[in-house]
Amino acid sequence: MSEAAVGILGILLFFALLFLRMPIAYAMALVGFLGFSWLVSATAAFRVVSMDIFSTFTNHSFSLIPMFVWMGFLAYHAGMGTRLYHFAYKLLGHLPGGLAIATQGTCALFGAICGSNTATAATIGSISLPEMNKYNYDPSLSTASVAAGGALGALIPPSVIFIVYGVAAGQSIEVLFLAGIIPGILVMSLYMITIYLLTLRRPSLGPAGPRSGWGERLQSLSGGVWEVLLIFALSVGGLFIGWFTPTEAGAVGATGVLLLTMATGKLKLNGLKQSLKDTTRTTAMIMLLVAGSIIFSRFMAVSKLPFELASWAASLELPPFAIMALILLIYLVLGFFIDALALILLTIPIFFPVAVDTLGYDPIWFGVIIVLVVAMGVITPPVGMNVYIIKGVSKDVPLEKIFSGIWPFLLALIVCLALLLSFPEITTFLPELYR
């Protein structure tokens, strides 16, 4: 059997184990180990596993993950999301669908201090859904808008998914963070327009709330927005202007949120303890995924499958755009079944050489496109992670009802994807200014 055939067999075995409910990290590590043993030797495979796991866990480039994760959980347990929502609600709540529109603004603001898609959806969902229920919003609109809004947490910096992509693909974290800003704002705007158009057609989907005066609006600004802007400016801003390395930016952000929320009495000792528990759990989950993917990528490298795939793609008489469309289609389909982070870790060693080295696409642009496509996977059936999280928050809303409201938001993401594909400058504009 050829090395590439063993590679394909390994991928099939990985999917078989995945669908038998083996955790994705375990399946990647196990298949990577088995494949490497087959193609090289079991002794070498054990050596690779031991050294890879230890060097991944001590890798300085990954140290920033727990720091940015902690920053988000501190903000969550200090109730910063509630105050952000209060501000957005006072500003936009009077519009048709205004509460759902305000939810998107809150997701974007919270995304500026939280790097996770799912944490953003969970946090903002627990705050905004009770409000939308109070104003008789149709559950399909309210739940789907929060599930979709979670994507803003991944696109707007800081973003754990960009960190992982950056390390896996050898790209600068700060440039990726910069590249995500305009697409993040674009997705937020498209979501807002979608909600507005939906409620304009069917006002019963999202009845308008009471209008607030400018005095109230300005007052709500002091509740939490300045804190978020301050932390964002210090941490992510400090990273952009070169004061800090990415790890330092994470540590400064986490310390900033900690000091600010403790000094203002918003974070209690229990909240602090819980934030640490949530952070260690999330870090263990992410880092075992990363270690598993590194072992899997060793197997892919010795199978030479990515190189075979790259030379096959180069030999195709198709324009690069068509091959890119095919890659994105594969991501979209896989995204229906696999978690966003795991999907990126699994596929970067395979598709990155094709897209960047063979087809010549910009690696930063490719990263943003991939993050956007996997954001579709977290809201589509059957394993749309954000939908399940929102189901956990709104237990009385059937899963089908949430999925039924997802389609307009999915369409908004597709429109955004089409715009980013047609006008790469939307993504590359800020990074080019920075360079």
Residues of this chain that bind another protein (CB under 8 A): 17-26, 29-30, 33, 46-47, 49-51, 53-54, 57-60, 62-63, 66-67, 70, 244, 247-248, 250-252, 254-255, 273, 276-277, 279-285, 287-289, 337-339, 342, 382-383
Residue (21 or 201) nearer to another protein, CB:
21
Distance of CA 17 to the CA centre of its chain: 24
Distance in Å, CB of 256 to another protein, minimum: 9
Which helix (H) or strand (E) segment holds residue 415: the answer is helix 399-422
Distance in Å, CB of 177 to another protein, minimum: 18
Distance in Å, CB of 280 to another protein, minimum: 4
Distance in Å, CB of 383 to another protein, minimum: 6
Residue (18 or 113) nearer to another protein, CB:
18
Q: Which residues contact 183 (CB under 8 A, 6 or more apart)?
A: 155, 368, 372, 416, 420, 426, 427
Distance in Å, CB of 248 to another protein, minimum: 6
Residue (59 or 212) nearer to another protein, CB:
59
Distance in Å, CB of 20 to another protein, minimum: 5
Distance in Å, CB of 279 to another protein, minimum: 6
Q: In angstroms, rounded to a whole number, what is the distance separating the alpha carbons of residues 116 and 151?
A: 8
Residue (269 or 433) nearer to another protein, CB:
269
- Only one residue has tokens 């504009």, namely 429
Distance in Å, CB of 373 to another protein, minimum: 18
Q: In angstroms, rounded to a whole number, what is the distance separating the alpha carbons of residues 273 and 368?
A: 34
Angle subtended at Cα 264 by Cα 260 and Cα 269, rounded to the nearest 5 degrees:
85
Residue (28 or 132) nearer to another protein, CB:
28
Q: In angstroms, rounded to a whole number, what is the distance separating the alpha carbons of residues 86 and 80?
A: 10
Residue (185 or 383) nearer to another protein, CB:
383
Q: In angstroms, rounded to a whole number, what is the distance separating the alpha carbons of residues 13 and 348?
A: 19
Q: In angstroms, rounded to a whole number, what is the distance separating the alpha carbons of residues 415 and 429?
A: 19
Residue (196 or 337) nearer to another protein, CB:
337
Q: Which residues contact 2 (CB under 8 A, 6 or more apart)?
A: none
**234-273 burial by CB neighbour count: b if 16+ within 10 A, else e?**
bbbebbbeeebbbbebbbbbbbbbbebbbeeebbeeebbe
Residue (261 or 279) nearer to another protein, CB:
279
Q: What is the DSSP letter of 205?
A: G
Tokens standing for 74? 């501190």
For the chain, how long is the longest CA-to-CA vector? 74
Residue (61 or 212) nearer to another protein, CB:
61
Tokens standing for 388? 């399940």
Tokens standing for 130? 């009770």
Q: In angstroms, rounded to a whole number, what is the distance separating the alpha carbons of residues 142 and 194?
A: 13
21 class by beta-carbon count within 10 Å (0-12 exposed, 13-18 middle, 19+ buried) = exposed
Residue (29 or 198) nearer to another protein, CB:
29
Distance in Å, CB of 339 to another protein, minimum: 5
322 class by beta-carbon count within 10 Å (0-12 exposed, 13-18 middle, 19+ buried) = exposed
